[in-house]
């Protein structure tokens, strides 16, 4: 039972060399806090693994693959049901971050998703827009 901000905070260690980056308002740049949570070597290994989730043709976030970008991702699905063996509603989530310039990290949750409408598929245009926006001078 984690909030989206908790998930993003936890995964920030893989984007930031093992340092946990505490959430803060952009206007409060002077009070930004970090804490070394894992070794930089462990963070680099996880970052590489999360990049494979996108780059590997069998990866769960391969739909986001673009050879001109360095993106890492974690996908997930949660099935909500009242009884074992029955089909229940499913939730889909995507956490993705830029690994080249570390310019963004994002998380999306889609409740009661259906085939073709996973968080990965629905957020492909958003990620495209993020890269385009961050590339502008």
Domain of residue 45: give its range.
4-135
Q: What is the CATH number of the domain that holds 73?
A: 3.40.710.10
Distance CA(106)–CA(128), nearest Å, equals: 12
Give the count of domains, the chain.
1
pLDDT of residue 112: 84
Q: What is the pLDDT along the chain (137 residues), one digit of tens a residue?
A: 678 888 888 888 999 899 988 887 666 667 778 889 999 999 999 999 999 999 999 999 999 999 999 999 999 988 887 778 877 788 889 999 999 888 889 999 888 877 777 899 989 999 999 888 888 66
pTM: 0.82
26-to-8, 30, 83, 108, 117 alpha-carbon distances in Å: 16, 10, 45, 20, 31
50: its two tokens: 């999360």
């Amino acid at each position: 039972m984690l909030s989206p901000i908790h998930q993003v905070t936890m995964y920030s260690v893989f984007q930031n060399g093992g340092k946990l980056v505490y959430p803060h308002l952009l206007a409060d740049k002077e009070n930004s806090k970090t804490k070394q949570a894992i070794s930089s070597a462990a963070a680099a290994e996880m970052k590489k693994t999360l990049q494979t989730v996108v780059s590997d043709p069998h990866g769960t976030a391969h739909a986001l693959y673009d050879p001109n970008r360095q993106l890492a991702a974690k996908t997930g699905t949660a099935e909500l049901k009242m009884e074992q063996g029955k089909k229940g509603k499913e939730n889909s989530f995507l956490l993705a971050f830029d690994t080249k310039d570390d310019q963004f990290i994002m998380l999306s949750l889609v409740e009661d998703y259906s085939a073709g409408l996973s968080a990965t598929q629905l957020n492909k245009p958003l990620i495209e827009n993020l890269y385009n926006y961050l590339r502008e001078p």
